[in-house]
């Protein structure tokens, strides 16, 4: 039987407040890296719900997506360990912006998240070598350019 290729579906949040963007610093196989609050879509979950959940798990902030900033396809090499060549991994990322809600101080951050931080667009541009995702900066640039798509663009059929 032939295995069908499928990209990893992820969601991310671009959250701006007072000219700064909420990012996470996390442990990865490449060391400490910066990223938007982001993560994988879980089975039975809608895209906006996944983004709200991931943002809460990674930042301890509630988040309500109000617009889609963009859909991004990226390919990276994941170390496979040993002498075998790295495995190519493709991500299909749905990035949202929206309303940042309450901070929940009792909420534990996801495993691997070291801290949250607020950075200006210029600081994000200057830290590209530390970005976990190759589309982190593009998501922020698209947000700054005013790119917004209505949530009505997305449909979820959970049959």
Tens-place pLDDT, residues 125-144: 999 999 999 999 999 999 99
Burial class (CB in 10 A: 0-12, 13-18, 19+), 146: exposed
Tens-place pLDDT, residues 29-84: 889 999 999 999 999 999 999 999 999 999 999 999 999 999 999 988 665 555 56
Q: What is the DSSP letter of 49?
A: H
| Residue 127 placed within a domain | yes
| Residue 157 placed within a domain | no
Contacts of 74 (CB under 8 A, 6+ apart): 90, 91, 93, 133, 134, 135
CATH code of the domain containing 51: 3.90.79.10
| Residue 1 placed within a domain | no
């Amino acid at each position: 039987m032939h295995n069908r290729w499928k990209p990893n579906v992820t969601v991310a949040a671009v959250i701006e407040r007072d000219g700064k963007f909420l990012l996470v610093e996390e442990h990865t196989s490449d060391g400490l890296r910066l990223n938007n609050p982001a993560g994988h879509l879980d089975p039975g979950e809608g895209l906006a719900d996944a983004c709200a959940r991931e943002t809460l798990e990674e930042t301890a902030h509630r988040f309500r997506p109000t617009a889609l900033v963009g859909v991004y396809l990226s390919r990276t090499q994941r170390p496979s360990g040993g002498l075998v060549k790295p495995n190519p991994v493709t991500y299909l990322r749905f990035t949202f912006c929206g309303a940042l809600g309450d901070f929940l101080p009792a909420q534990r951050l996801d495993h691997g998240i070291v801290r949250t931080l607020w950075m200006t667009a210029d600081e994000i541009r200057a830290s590209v070598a530390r970005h976990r995702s190759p589309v982190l900066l593009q998501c922020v640039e698209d947000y700054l350019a005013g790119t917004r798509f209505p949530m009505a663009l997305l449909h979820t059929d959970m049959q």
